[in-house]
Structure 1
Amino acid sequence: MSIEFSKSLTVESTSIPGLKVVDLPVHGDNRGWFKENWQRAKMTVEGLEDFGPVQNNISFNTAAGTTRGIHAEPWDKYVSVATGRIFGAWVDLRQGPTFGNTHTEELDASKAVFVPRGVGNAFQTLEDDTAYTYLVNDHWSAGAQDQYTFLNLADPTAAIEWPIPLDRAALSDKDRAHPWLADVEPMQDRKILVIGKNGQLGQALRAELGDDATVEYAGRDEFDLSAPALWQQRNWRGYKAIINAAAFTDVDGAETPSGRTESWAINAGAPAQLAKLANAYGVTLVHVSSDYVFDGVAEMHDEDEALSPLNVYGQTKASGDIAACTAAQHYVVRTSWVVGSGKNFISTMASLAGRGVDPSVVSDQTGRLSFATDIARGILHLLDSGAAYGIYNLTNTGPSQSWAGIAKQVFELTGHDPGRVTPVTTTDYYAGKAHATRPANSVLSLEKIQAAGFTPRSSSEALNDYLQAMDNRSG
């Protein structure tokens, strides 16, 4: 069969999610032919994954009928033919609703297939002296096959119609011995790693994600952000996303000599290291940031505003944003005034109200509350929906409030007189105390996250739910 010359470059999906067939333009004359087998810029525009290949392999097969596979590997691959023809077969061996789906395709030099991690790949040569090539985005090693998932070439469920019957084909003994589909343990999806599992956001993520086998949680004992040398002990190719919910959050403490060192290490140095890992292994990095990257002068802070932190904590968070944005696949999620499990402003005000304490609360700093549950849901929406990478503001919706206004609301909702809250200026509140300068206005624009399909609850609704849950726990 002659090669079809001068086709247009196209990328088509198949019944197996992520498995894509690529028609390649081949240019030929009486001397032979030429093709761009892998062309990142053109192919990604057409819809092919920018999967970051690091190794190129070639399988040369001397005789027609040589049959290899079905092997599902723990990396993505891009398969094509240099010379000859093959009959390719792919079976989804990933855990999920498409487990067992099969796709077949005949390939010559003018066609290629992108094979995502966990999809079984096999081929049978249709001509002598066929060279089968594949790009992969991880380096092969001697122990790599321990992570493979195999399927028998003759599996009756897959029911692949091999052009040359298997009893007349050249197979390896290993391929003949692989299991039937009913006995195959599906390949698990790559994991999500949540760093900072014990913080307010970490606990909210645990509540949303639960005990899913593809989610791993790490606190400081399991993953010390200040000790990056220990990070190399993990198989990072096994992760699809890292959610960095850990941070040094002692705003005033960051102004001290020891706090300054620790806050720079955790808030800036760690995101830089995580971004390097994300780029090296094709992982999506989600980094949680803060309104403190701004000086609070603007009436509304959007994602494109220039960074202008007022204090050391803000400086470290701004530097962490810059570092996280160097990851090709990144979501930087900026929040403000976070409320979650454990001690926080809302729980403190509720406690003071119940104990008969009348607090003085700052009234000239304005912003919106960010309930950890809504932050967690927003992050998962970005990951699940495949939203465009970049920076997103994420707080609860509703009008801006001052700390004093929120405190009065807590008193009222818990059945106490809001008049017991005394509004004071920031200057009066911190008089005689060492403290970091704080932005006067922390209101973040939510247009971008809403355009991406996620609208958080209103602050009032979230506050009511939070206080009700507190009351239920105490009751």
Structure 2
Amino acid sequence: MGGAAQLRVEGSPIQGLEVVSLPVHRDERGWFKENWQREKMVAAGLPDFRPVQNNVSFNGPRGTTRGLHAEPWDKYISVLSGEIFGVWVDLRPGHGFGSLFTAKMGEGEAVFVPRGVANAFQTLASNTVYSYLVTEHWTEAARLEYSYVNLADPDLDIPWPISLDEAIVSQADKEHPPLAQAKPVQPKKIAVLGGNGQLGRAFAQLAKSDERIALYTRAQTDLQSPGFAASLDLANCSHVVNAAAMTSVDRAQTPAGSAEAWQVNAVAVRQLAARCGELGVPLVHVSTDYVFDGAQREVDELHPIAPLGVYGQSKAAGEQAVLAHTGNYVVRTSWVIGQGNNFVSTMRRLADQGIAPRVVDDQVGRLTFASELARGIMHLLDTGSAPGIYHLQGGGEPASWYQVAREVFALCGHDPDAVQPVSTREYALDRPHLAPRPVNSTLDTAKLQATGFAPKPLSDLLDQFLGQNRVTS
């Protein structure tokens, strides 16, 4: 690796480890370089790295060798004087575990080292000065999360320019374990608020096979508590998913319900977004079709919001608070079906009890199963999709609540003609606190699908849900 004429970021065989070529301006006085310049480097392809600590290592003799250490944070390393032979080994769980990358570095190079990748170097010149910026403050507690690999591991067969027998190596580094015994560095957590809700329970299912997901119930994180955001410990979190909300649409029209809706869906969300912003943790906020007035048959992410009732208004305010901070996501959805009280479970219970319900036939949209909603959110995070607003809704043709009810009755082995159609106006005659609802709740999901997300067939999901969630009186 030689000096670079312009700033350039290139990948490596280790996922997320980026090699940076730095412009170095030289004259008879010496040289100058911008060792770290966030705006330019992010534009060139580095992650939006936000260091909080800068460490510098002076290495007197040639052949000084340090590592291999994997810390629970991201690092940006560079040489301020001299030259090194750098070594990196991936210690993150998965198919890349044990991957090796090496490179010589001078003043014109830097490397971004993602969390969980072990780092080592050997000085190739005397009086080498080595710098590294990190994204977490060092603490004694953090040392417990370190992982190590032996510099002389024969399985790695690192081509050290200077034999380790002749190099200067600390006794501690000599005693590190071989790769076969190295502790994998677990990824940061994805904190999911609202763990007892329909979406939270869907995330709980994913958590059985994904150790990153950490659920927080209302007992642990209550959005009605004034200081809840300040008490959140997000030091080891890569993202926060806000699946908590006040969703009682009709009660939100009452004085007490309105106060709760504004506190949970707007005020608390603003506090949460501010807290995440302070710590540089992206927030994924789940929103709703109720931010629209339903005048259009189908709406995309750019359609103007125009909520009809208090619930939609409070959710719209929450959206704006989240989007005020860069790097956040708003995921709008509708007609959520999961474990807990929902329309499909109610229709199933009424069908089994022989009750013929009256169901509105002039509100049209699509069901969204909580399992799909959780899967879609994880897809956005795992693919590194750009932050912003996304619509996530079940597939298939839009249908009215009446049509959905008929299908549930039929799938449960009951006569779908038992379901009676009724207009929203008629349904509301004896319900004074019934909230206004969008007539159309169909969301355009093309933006999400362009990221590679393929929704599962709605008919299969409905049939599976009814088979797994028999509701009794």
TM-score bracket, shorter-length normalisation: over 0.9
Q: Normalized against structure 1, the TM-score is what? A: 0.92
Q: Which amino acid aligns with 1:285?
A: L
Q: CA deviation at 1:32?
A: 1.5
The answer to whether structure 1 residue 445 and structure 2 residue 437 are counterparts is no
Q: Normalized against structure 2, the TM-score is what? A: 0.93
Moved more, 83-92 or 106-115: 83-92
Cα displacement string for residues 11-31 of structure 1 (whole angstroms, at most 9, x for unaligned residues) = 222222111211112121222
Contact 1:362 1:404 in 2 (8 A): yes
Q: Distance in 2 between matches of 1:312 and 1:72?
A: 50
Moved more, 312-321 or 347-356: 347-356
**1:220 alignment partner, one of 196, 218, 221:** 218
**1:266 alignment partner, one of 251, 257, 264:** 264
Q: Secondary structure at the match of 2:443?
A: coil
Q: Distance in 2 between matches of 1:457 and 1:95?
A: 28
Task: Quote the RMSD (CA, aligned, Å).
Answer: 2.2
Partner of 1:144: 142
Partner of 1:72: 70
Partner of 2:29: 31
Partner of 1:95: 93
Partner of 1:246: 244
Question: Identity, % of aligned pairs?
Answer: 51
Q: Which amino acid aligns with 2:52?
A: V
**1:341 alignment partner, one of 339, 361, 386:** 339
Q: Distance in 2 between matches of 1:282 and 1:156?
A: 39
Partner of 1:395: 393
Partner of 1:456: 455
Q: Distance in 1 between matches of 2:230 and 2:175?
A: 36
Q: Distance in 2 between matches of 1:182 and 1:213?
A: 22
Partner of 1:276: 274
Q: CA deviation at 1:444?
A: 1.0
Contact 2:243 2:285 in 1 (8 A): yes
Contact 2:261 2:311 in 1 (8 A): yes
Q: Secondary structure at the match of 1:18?
A: coil
Contact 2:202 2:374 in 1 (8 A): yes
Q: Distance in 2 between matches of 1:234 and 1:174?
A: 36
Q: Which amino acid aligns with 2:449?
A: Q
Cα displacement string for residues 401-422 of structure 1 (whole angstroms, at most 9, x for unaligned residues) = 2222222222233233333222
Stretches of structure 1 that go unaligned for 5 or more consecutive residues are: none
Counterparts of 1:333-412 in structure 2, within 5 Å, are 333-412=331-410
Q: CA deviation at 1:210?
A: 1.7
Q: Secondary structure at the match of 1:379?
A: helix
**1:19 alignment partner, one of 17, 33, 43:** 17
Contact 2:70 2:119 in 1 (8 A): yes
Q: Distance in 1 between matches of 2:177 and 2:449?
A: 47
Aligned residues: 471
Partner of 1:202: 200
Q: Which amino acid aligns with 2:448?
A: I
Rate the CA distance shift 1:188–1:164 in 2: closer, same or farther, 3 A: same
Counterparts of 1:284-299 in structure 2, within 5 Å, are 284-299=282-297
Q: Distance in 2 between matches of 1:159 and 1:276?
A: 47
Rate the CA distance shift 1:380–1:5 in 2: closer, same or farther, 3 A: closer
Q: Which amino acid aligns with 2:223?
A: L
Cα displacement string for residues 145-175 of structure 1 (whole angstroms, at most 9, x for unaligned residues) = 2222122323332222332333333333332
Q: CA deviation at 1:232?
A: 5.1
Cα displacement string for residues 233-266 of structure 1 (whole angstroms, at most 9, x for unaligned residues) = 5542312222222211111112233322222222
Contact 2:229 2:272 in 1 (8 A): no
Q: Distance in 2 between matches of 1:245 and 1:233?
A: 18
Q: Which amino acid aligns with 2:290?
A: Y
Partner of 1:81: 79
Q: Which amino acid aligns with 2:397?
A: P
Q: Secondary structure at the match of 2:130?
A: strand
Contact 2:365 2:399 in 1 (8 A): yes
The answer to whether structure 1 residue 55 and structure 2 residue 37 are counterparts is no
Rate the CA distance shift 1:4–1:400 in 2: closer, same or farther, 3 A: closer
Partner of 1:304: 302
Q: Secondary structure at the match of 1:404?
A: helix
Q: Distance in 1 between matches of 2:158 and 2:271?
A: 46
Contact 2:230 2:275 in 1 (8 A): no
Q: Distance in 2 between matches of 1:200 and 1:6?
A: 53
**1:332 alignment partner, one of 312, 330, 333:** 330
Q: Secondary structure at the match of 1:466?
A: helix
Counterparts of 1:310-325 in structure 2, within 5 Å, are 310-325=308-323
Partner of 1:9: 7
Moved more, 204-213 or 432-441: 204-213
Stretches of structure 2 that go unaligned for 5 or more consecutive residues are: none
Q: Which amino acid aligns with 2:461?
A: A
Contact 1:237 1:282 in 2 (8 A): no
Q: Secondary structure at the match of 1:80?
A: strand
Moved more, 74-83 or 207-216: 207-216
